[in-house]
Chain A
């Protein structure tokens, strides 16, 4: 089989391959997504086999190191307490040192501060699973009111205390010297609000004696006082009674706050450390030896003398350790990527800013065999399980990906093709409207994922572990399988639609667009223009209304589109206008260029071009046939003339023979007359055909019509006389100048006079009349017909149509026809009026001047 690569079997196998590989790919992808919680464990190149070599292990140890540093600090503080030291806040904030006795009167017991600071614990703010920060939440105390006495010393009250005093003593408040007023504090929502409203006021007693010069709310932070000072006083008591502290309330609270913060961390660390990192509870070992201060803290007594032995804990080989010493060069670790500065910062927290000057060793280690079932052990187990499966899933992932790509690519090429022919075949599904098919596929996909998935959702517990140990359930594999089937069906259909160019053609959107186009095309042109304008205006108003920053751009686009439309239609209209003008002026070969034309204008232009072409052909055709007719008539008349010459000559010879028989004489006369008629006829036929086809050379010049009529009249004087006709001439006395061909105009008048001579009733008058009216010269010749005029004027001037037989005198009957043609050729008019026996010919020409 030659075309095996697109045979049905091949395609079916490829589909199955694609679905299986796709499912594999998705499954492994999701498994990694669920379980690998950092990029290191995701990629095979960075993934390590053992938990203690993973970056998560390093971070866990780092975090624990910070806690232990604080814990050790707490334990050191507690030892100071046991040694009888206390915290004089004044001395501590000035020198950072502890005291043996209460000197400033503002001193606390160390244990009290440790407890107070860590009382509410510390909130752990997670930045992510591995990073968090501790923040203390020491409760705030009640609001404090400051009262300034007359001697500028201060009296402090809590709000509640001051409220009671005001009530009992019936104090009044005033802003002026005399202007006291008694506002009722109970009218306020709270007493705090009342004080706020009266800040800066003076306070007066019952006898109107001024108690306090000025009162206001204390604006600093206060703390709920869980513990009192060594002397058993609260802060307000100290501030009110000790002149040394009077007026320094804010300072006192700040000192207390910073001490609580520092002691609180140490207290919490201590609590946590004692809970979790006692020997036997943990795989972690720590040791802190400070020779300068003589401090030694560890959870493994065997390391007391030699902290560096921490490298050999457990079986001596599997320990992961960090050893911090004052100098960076002494930093020692077997944990990859462990940062010396990171651990140095823990030492700094533990000892304060002068840690570099101290001879210390801070060492931490974890036994990689995990003999104790602690947090490290658990994480290691999860990690081991993850690692075991990760290899398999990586292979799944790569195989799935490659298989899917190859098979889908192959299917993309051969989809719609068959081994038998080169045609493209669309199946039933491909013939569905594009959008419908898309909705079907995407909808089914969504249904599968949503309906089934909702009942078997993934657990999304965040464990703080490096990896999770979730498996991908069979239900989900089935969902992936179904998704892949749907995807493949939809994708291949899409491919076939694109190949068959039906993606757009067979879409609902195209159907709608077509519908709009058709509707638009059938809208009356006026409405279309109005509609376009309305859309244009709407764009402007809507964008104005929306008022977004893109407003000018949208409007500009609409305006440019409007301009383009206007320019196009105007150019189109101009082209059409020009074309029509050219064709109307007789340039029938002219073609309107289609360059700027679209839609309706294009249609119009095409039709005009067709009309022009048709007219051109018709005119050419008629000109040719007219010329052929003239040529034919001319040639025929030539051929007639030669025998006619002989006839005339021999009739003449016969007449010289002096026949005495009157019958013979009469016959000869008839022959001669008919020969002469034939002669006239042949000449007139040629002339008539030339005149009517316009095949006449015209030489225009200015001539005087009066002169011409006089000349013509003179030429016909004898002939008129011979028929006993009297001519009545009526001509203007001035010249009547017209621009005409003089010889052809003479032919016109000659024919008109000829007609009158031939057909007038003998003994009657012939009237010739010339007048000028409205810039035109009108010449008319009137005569009384000898015969009855049973003919229409049109028939008289139509070539080859004669009146009745009785008019067949000597003429050809073409005279008037020739006259009319020649008149009209020169831009004149020619009319015949018949009224009973009155025969009237009128011609007119435009005059010059």
Chain B
């Protein structure tokens, strides 16, 4: 299994994260500031890094910058700062994910798994000959088999949900309004204005997203429609 370095100046948080991840079978290394983290990284083979932002000596953002100079393993930033600007900064310096405190331990574990899967399996994924595969990041749809997988894990969707997701993934980056989705899936005019499409989208998100409120693949463009990001 993978080696994970957890770095936070709060020892109890490092301890707790360590317990949750060890339960999943990962090997945990611990560090309490940025300098320590760099030291561990030099000495050990680390597959994933979870790092806090506000830390003494060397903060998470600078540490990430330094690490990214020579290392491309997944980095998850863990921070009490929840502003958009903070998130954008974290992702821009090279982090793969940004989790705000207080976080749900299970969500963190899920994100760790997702990052590791993508990193370790994505490149070596076997492509079935002749199959049509649509993908966005860790999300992939095999239209021949009618199979949807996220980070390699199969997801069960209803036919309508599948069709909606397929439409959006096929047209990555394009925003579809509720009416457009309705008309192309149900093949009839959207006369009744209700929340049918929105409810289905919500269901899809709950199935494919780690945190449906903060979706990674199927994004809500408020007041305009929905789209799947090109990843």
Closest to A721 in B: B199
**B82: interface (CB < 8 Å):** yes
Say yes or no: A710-B197 contact (C-beta < 8 A), given A645-B13, A648-B102, A653-B16.
Answer: yes
The answer to whether B198 and A714 touch across the interface, beta carbons within 8 angstroms, is: yes
Please tell me if the beta carbons of A650 and B197 are within 8 angstroms of each other in the complex.
no
Cα(A653)–Cα(B23), bound, Å: 11
Question: What residues on B are CB-neighbors of A149 within 8 Å?
Answer: none
Give bound CA distance, A710 to B193, whole Å: 8
B194 close to A711 (CB less than 8 A): no
Distance of A637 Cα from B82 Cα, bound (Å) = 10
Confirm or deny: A194 has a beta carbon within 8 angstroms of a beta carbon on chain B. Answer: no
- B201 and chain A: residue at smallest CB distance: A714
Q: Say yes or no: A711 contacts B178, CB within 8 Å.
A: yes
Are the CB atoms of B198 and A644 closer together than 8 Å?
no
- Out of B104, B193, B197, B199, name the residue touching A648 (CB < 8 Å): B104
A648 — nearest CB in chain B belongs to which residue?
A: B102
Given A650-B16, A745-B222, CB of A713 within 8 Å of CB of B195:
yes
Interface size on B, residues (CB 8 A): 37
Whole-angstrom distance between the alpha carbons of A729 and B198 in the complex? Answer: 13
B-side contacts of A727, CB under 8 Å = 195
A interface, by DSSP: helix, strand, loop or mixed?
helix
Using CB atoms, name the residue of chain A closest to B105.
A652
User: Would A638 and B198 count as touching, CB distance under 8 A?
Assistant: no
Chain B residues 70 to 93 lying within 8 A of chain A, measured CB to CB, are: 80-82
Set of chain B residues within 8 Å of A646, measured between Cβ atoms: 10, 12-13, 16
A706 contacts the other chain (Cβ, under 8 Å)? Answer: yes
Nearest-Cβ distance from residue B168 to partner chain A, whole angstroms: 14
A708 near B: Cβ within 8 Å? yes
Contact yes or no, A649 B16, CB < 8 A: yes
Chain A 646-668 per-residue mask, 1 if CB under 8 angstroms from chain B, else 0: 11111011001000000000000
Measured CB to CB, the closest approach of chain A to B98, in angstroms, equals 14
- A711 contact from B103, B105, B191, B222, Cβ within 8 A: B222
* Minimum CB–CB distance for B216 against chain A, Å: 17
Contact of B221 with A by CB under 8 A:
yes
Provide the bound-state CA to CA distance between A742 and B220, in Å: 10
A691-734 at interface with B (beta carbon < 8 Å) = 703-708, 710-715, 717-718, 727, 729, 731, 733
CB within 8 Å of A: which residues of B?
A: 10, 12-13, 16-17, 19-20, 23, 54, 80-82, 101-106, 177-178, 191, 193-202, 220-225
Known A649-B17, A713-B195, A718-B202; contact A641-B80, beta-carbon cutoff 8 A: yes
18 contacts between A and B (CB under 8 A): A642-B13, A642-B80, A646-B10, A648-B102, A648-B105, A649-B13, A652-B20, A686-B82, A705-B223, A708-B222, A710-B178, A710-B194, A710-B197, A714-B198, A718-B202, A729-B194, A740-B223, A746-B223
The 9 closest A-B pairs by CB, nearest first: A714-B198, A703-B223, A649-B16, A713-B195, A708-B223, A641-B80, A742-B222, A746-B222, A645-B102
Q: Please give, as numbers and ranges, the residues of chain A lying within 8 Å of B17 by CB-CB distance.
A: 649
On whether the beta carbons of A642 and B101 are closer than 8 Å, the reply is yes
A743 within 8 A of partner (CB): yes
Contacting residues of chain A (718-765) with chain B, CB-CB under 8 angstroms: 718, 727, 729, 731, 733, 740, 742-743, 745-746
On whether the beta carbons of B222 and A641 are closer than 8 Å, the reply is no
Which of chain A's residues has its CB closest to B19's CB? A653
CB distance from B82 to the nearest CB of A (A): 7
B223:A641 contact, CB within 8 angstroms: no
In the bound complex, do residue B103 and residue A645 qualify as a contact, i.e. CB atoms below 8 Å apart?
A: yes
Determine if B106 and A717 form an interchain contact, defined as CB atoms under 8 angstroms apart. no
Q: Does A679 contact B (CB under 8 A)?
A: yes
Contact between B193 and A645 (Cβ–Cβ < 8 Å)? no
Contact A742 B221 (CB under 8 A): yes
Q: How far is the CA of A733 from the CA of B178 in the complex (A)?
A: 13
Residue of B nearest to A676 (CB): B102
A729 to B178 Cα, complex, angstroms = 15
Say whether A786 faces chain B, with CB atoms less than 8 Å apart. no
Say yes or no: A644 contacts B101, CB within 8 Å. yes
Judge whether B10 and A642 touch: CB under 8 Å.
Answer: yes
